[in-house]
Homo-oligomer: A and B are copies of this chain.
Amino acid sequence: MAKHKTDTAEQLTCSDVSDATLRRLLGYRIRRASNVIQADLATTLAEFNLRMITYTALVLVVDNPGLRQSQLANAIDIEQPNLVVVVNELERSGLIERTQARTDRRAYALQATAAGRTLCEKAINAVVKHEERMLKALDSETRRTVAEAMEAISGCKKN
């Protein structure tokens, strides 16, 4: 808690700044935790020359072979024009390929290459370790409770 004896900054050191009002909100705490996780995840993925968005796209292509770009953009929840550069990056790295979709000559069927599948597996293993590092203070029941709570919040999107 901060000191409120006077209106001057001299009473306040850095660690004295009170964010008690904000911390009362769960959304504030969730965002802070999310930021800490994202920062560590970015470091983890950098070893594989992946960004979070390219990692997410790679996993989805590996798990959903033949995916079209419009479907992938929808799944990641980004605009199609922004996905183009993500797919370009993954293709230039030799991790995925654009193959012509059979029934629609406008569309591409995205496929992971062997190298893409290999890197994806390694990256997933590293991310699992990152996850364990982040969550080591939480027992498995707490993790389950948090997981369900996050799904419930995400489900609030339209109501």
A binding-site residues for B, Cβ under 8 Å: 2, 4, 6-12, 14, 17-22, 25-27, 29-38, 40-41, 56, 59-60, 62-68, 71-72, 74-75, 77, 101-103, 107, 109, 111, 124, 127-128, 130-131, 133-138, 142-143, 145-147, 149-157, 159
A7–B109 touching, CB < 8 Å: yes
Q: How many copies does the complex hold?
A: 2
- Which of A71, A72, A128 is most buried by chain B, counting CB atoms within 10 A of its CB? A71
Closest to A25 in B: B131
A22–B56 touching, CB < 8 Å: yes
- Which of A32, A72, A134 is most buried by chain B, counting CB atoms within 10 A of its CB? A134
